[in-house]
Amino acid sequence: MRYELPLILEPQPEGEYTVTSPILPGLVTEGGRIKDSQDNVPDALAAILDAYQETGKALPPMVTVFEEF
């Protein structure tokens, strides 16, 4: 599956970068460089998807899911 959702990349005072999504609470990751923080998004997304599945919560309706063949 492929997921489409907006991401916000924010520089932190310590020099790192934080990535969050305004439509998927709990999706948070960071990295020392922009690329590092972007590379960490798939793992953060997998973790939050697992949490939603374990609790039986539905994904927010604004998260677009594409079935891939």
Of 34 and 64, more confident: 34
Domain boundaries 2-66, CATH class: alpha beta
For residue 68, pLDDT over 90 is answered with: no
For residue 69, pLDDT over 70 is answered with: no
Residue type present at position 53: Q
State the SS3 of 33-69. Answer: CHHHHHHCHHHHHHHHHHHHHHHCCCCCCCCEEECCC
Report, as an integer, the average pLDDT of 49-63.
93
pLDDT tens sequence across 19-54: 999 999 899 999 999 999 999 999 999 999 999 999
pLDDT at position 33: 96
